[in-house]
């Protein structure tokens, strides 16, 4: 396959990642910028805290679906596994650093979940279960998000050893990007003042 098709795949995947459903849905419903509320993050958790569970659910669905779609499309069009992994990384990068939102996007958790479940659902499920255990035990969303995604490269190594280099690179990218995007959360965790989940209540600025 012509490598320029692969380059086009990466560009399109990045642009699809720019479709930030936290920004889009809140803007459409309330005509406000979600980044001006709560934590200032254009992602599901901030929508959950400031706008409620119903809207947060649809944000998760939209952001996860775009990640899954890019990986699915890359495979459907017959790209190699390196390009498929590249599409997954590109859509996550597009969500985290969207050019159309001046590079102020979300933290990439929902998009990462969708993209990697489509890439390797077996290893992805293990990561999600690990994250869910940590989230429920600490009642801190960021802890669950980080532990679940950071666990994925280790799960890939245990399950596949070194037989799938593209997948391992994809998983390592996910882990590094989620830690980078949660660096403020890590500081708050160290200081003991990270926000805990508080379902059913909305917060304004």
pLDDT in tens, 135-178: 999 999 999 999 999 999 999 999 999 999 999 999 999 999 99
Number of domains in the chain: 1
Residue 204 lies in a domain: no
pTM assigned to the model = 0.92
Q: Is 76 exposed, middle or buried (0-12, 13-18, 19+ CB in 10 A)?
A: exposed
- Per-residue pLDDT tens digits for 10-66: 999 999 999 999 999 999 999 999 999 988 889 998 999 899 889 999 999 999 999
Residue 202 falls within a domain, yes or no? no
Residue-wise pLDDT tens digits, 92-114: 999 999 999 999 999 999 999 99
User: Would you say residue 205 lies in a domain?
Assistant: no
* Cβ burial, residue 196 (10 Å; 0-12/13-18/19+): exposed
Whether 168 is covered by a domain: the verdict is yes
User: What is the extent of the structural domain holding 158?
Assistant: 3-191
Residue 197 lies in a domain: no
Percentage helix, strand, coil for the chain under 3-state DSSP, each rounded to 5: 75, 0, 25
In a domain, 86, yes or no: yes
Does 184 fall in a domain?
yes
């Amino acid at each position: 396959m012509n490598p320029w098709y692969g380059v086009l795949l990466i560009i399109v995947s990045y642009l699809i990642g720019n479709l930030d459903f936290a920004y889009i849905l809140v803007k459409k419903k309330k005509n406000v910028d979600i980044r001006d509320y709560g934590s200032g993050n254009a992602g599901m958790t901030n929508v959950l805290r400031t706008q409620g569970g119903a809207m947060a659910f649809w944000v998760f669905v939209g952001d996860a679906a775009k990640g899954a779609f890019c990986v699915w499309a890359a495979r459907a069009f017959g790209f190699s596994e390196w390009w498929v992994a590249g599409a997954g990384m590109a859509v996550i990068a597009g969500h985290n650093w969207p050019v159309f939102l001046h590079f102020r996007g979300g933290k990439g958790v929902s998009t990462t979940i969708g993209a990697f479940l489509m890439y390797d659902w077996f290893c992805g499920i293990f990561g999600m279960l690990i994250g869910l255990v940590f989230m429920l035990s600490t009642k801190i969303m960021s802890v669950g998000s980080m532990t679940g995604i950071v666990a994925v490269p280790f799960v890939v190594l245990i399950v596949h050893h070194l037989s799938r280099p593209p997948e391992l690179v994809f998983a390592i990218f996910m882990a590094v990007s989620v830690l980078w995007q949660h660096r403020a959360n890590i500081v708050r965790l160290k200081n003991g003042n990270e926000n805990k989940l508080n379902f059913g209540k909305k917060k304004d600025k």
